Structure 1
Amino acid sequence: MDILIMKIGGSIQDKLPGSFYQMIAQLQQTKKCYPLIVHGGGPMINTLLEKLAIPTKFVDGLRVTTKEVLTVVEMVLSGSINNEIVTQCQIKQLQAIGLSGIDHGLLKVKPVQTIEAIGFVGEVTEVNTAFLMELLENNIIPVISPIGMDETGQHYNINGDMAASAIAKALGGKLAFISNVPGVMKQQKDKSNVYSSLTQVEAEQLIKEKIITDGMIPKVRSAIGSLSVQMKQAVILNGLEPEDIANYLKGNEVGTKFIYKEEVAYV
């Protein structure tokens, strides 16, 4: 049975309709997939940082994470947001467990290396897949907060998209970024169209042309980075249209798919 790793963006988490979680329940009950959720929480983190007068900035879509910022990030991600998603799952009779990457050595990390100093931002080096599979095979949905730890016990903020990508790659599952947009958009005159598929070369060109910008950059690069011979596809889907998930699993054209082969994108 397929494993479906769903990354729920912070911008849509509190806007997801009840039908979204009902769709997940149907997929699990009909054994269409093992669902797994990774979540972000950028907007709520921004709000709390502002209230606390803690400055924050981004470098290439990654939040610069000082010790002060890290404390707030953990509070929001592993606390309120994680609990809310687990609650919504339980309402729909889904057995879910809230976890951070710290729990049971779930996500081991090392610092992200960039030209600019970005503080305690980590990238995943190892995923405890045996632990996750034990939960999934017992019909328990892991709801994962993207916080990781290195060998010294230092905690790190992980970009949620990158965490989801690493988990999907480790499990060999299908990766879906649940967003508030139907995919990567292209403005054409008076209307916007969705790129139905993109290769790595095409996506990087759109970043260069600033068609893909801001927080969409790590999302797209995470989707591309998850691709391999074993995992040839990832997708960005609209969480406000929950049936898109079922259609994707059926192989229908929906959202923006990122493909391993160098195929031509079409709109």
Structure 2
Amino acid sequence: MEELGEAFFDSLLELKKEEYQIVFVHGGGPAINRMLELYNIPHEFVNGLRKTTPEVLEVAEMVLSGQSNRKLTSMIELHGLRGFGVNGSDAGLLKAKCINQDELGLVGEITAVNQSVLEMLFNEDLVPVITPIAAAEDGTKLNINADYAAAAIANAIKAEHCIFVTDVKGIFIDGNLTHQLDADEIEQHIKNKKITGGMIPKVTSALNLISKGLNSVMIVSGKEKFYEDGIWIGTNVSAKKEVLT
């Protein structure tokens, strides 16, 4: 979040001028880790998901809602958009159920998205900035993986594009930016060690989004323009190869 650049927001403004509705879904992993360590609260990950005890959830919500969301909303406002920060559990926006309480604690998966909340914000020309905290049917708050929350929201509103913001321009193969890859190609590139290191979790997250029902995901840089004059800049990850326009 700290590395979001002026050019990134220029692209957002261009999309807004083209009458795209924009929704932000954000996490806050590093900041949550720092706060947990500050309070000496034990924490761990199980299969890539943060095991969430009541104590961990309290800290996670405090960081997500009180720090990360406030900061991102302010950044959006400073760059000419009207941001509106909202907790996913507010107004029944995100409903969820536990995935495996014995193994993961208060970690959930989205079961429903209250589109009327988003439509209300869209009608006021606001940009929703959403934390991945949802509510179960009994009101219990649940921690949601931000990628999965983004996928659920994108599916619910039938989004044209889901953009995965990273600190690099996209996926590079043999030193060259690759504009489009499908799931099979990504698996092959990982096997051949063409995709390595920190890019592996990024593409894995993109594939996870696709597995949740999205047609494609853009991996773009938060430091520079990712959309200009109708052209997307980055890597389009899709289930199958398709023409990118």
Give the match for residue 148 of structure 2.
162
Residue 220 of structure 1: aligned partner:
206
Q: Does 1:79 align with 2:61?
A: no
- C-alpha displacement of 1:204: 4.7
Instruction: Output one character per residue of 1:172-204: Cα deviation in whole Å (capped at 9) or x when no partner.
Output: 111001111222344x4xxx4444323233445
The question of whether the paired residues in 2 share the 8 Å contact of 1:21 and 1:88 is answered with no
Mapped partners of 1:238, 1:217: distance in 2: 13
Query: Which residue identity is paired with 2:118?
Result: L
> What aligned pairs does 1:49-60 form with structure 2 within 5 A after superposition?
49-60=36-47
SS of 2:104's equivalent?
coil
Q: Secondary structure at the match of 2:227?
A: helix
Q: Which residue of 2 aligns with 1:3?
A: none
Counterparts of 1:247-258 in structure 2, within 5 Å, are 250-252=230-232, 254-258=233-237
Following superposition, the deviation at residue 137 of structure 1 comes to 3.0
**AA partner of residue 17 (structure 1):** G
- Alpha-carbon offset, residue 129 of structure 1: 1.3
Alignment of 1:69 onto 2:56? yes
Distance 1:208 1:60 in 2: 20
- Tell me: CA distance 1:118–1:39, structure 2 relative to 1, closer, same or farther (3 Å): same
Structure-2 separation of matches of 1:245 and 1:183: 13
**2:32 is matched with which residue: 38, 45, 63?**
45
Question: Is 2:200 the counterpart of 1:199?
Answer: no
**Stretch of structure 1 that moved more, 89-98 or 33-42:** 89-98
Equivalent position of 1:259 in the other structure: 238
Residue of 226, 230, 244 corresponding to 2:226: 244
Contact 2:8–2:221 (CA under 8 A) maintained in structure 1: no
What are structure 2's unaligned runs of at least 5 residues?
Answer: none
Which residue, out of 201, 211, 234, partners 2:217? 234
Supply the AA of the counterpart residue of 1:20.
F
Aligned counterparts of 2:157 and 2:238: Cα–Cα separation in 1: 18
Q: How many matched pairs?
A: 239
Structure 1 residue 261: deviation in Å? 2.8
Secondary structure of 1:54's counterpart equals: coil
Normalising by the residue count of structure 2, what TM-score does the alignment of the two structures yield?
A: 0.86
Percentage identity across aligned positions? 37
Are the structure 2 counterparts of residues 226 and 74 from structure 1 closer, same or farther at C-alpha, using a change threshold of 3 Å? same
Change (3 A) 1:98 1:92: same
For 2:47 and 2:191, how far apart are their aligned partners in 1?
Answer: 12
Shift of 1:23: 3.4
CA–CA distance in structure 1, aligned partners of residues 122 and 106 of structure 2: 30
What is the alpha-carbon distance in structure 1 between the residues aligned to residue 121 and residue 130 of structure 2? 12
Q: Could you give the per-residue CA deviations for residues 124-176 of structure 1, whole angstroms, max 9, x where no partner exists? A: 11111122122113211000011001101111111111111111111111100
TM-score (norm 1): 0.79
Aligned-pair RMSD on alpha carbons? Answer: 2.6
Q: Is the 8 A contact 2:207 2:237 kept in 1?
A: no
Structure 1 gaps of 5+ residues are: 1-12
Counterpart secondary structure, 1:117: helix
1:5 corresponding residue in structure 2: none
Please, which of 7, 16, 20 is the counterpart of residue 4 of structure 2? Answer: 16
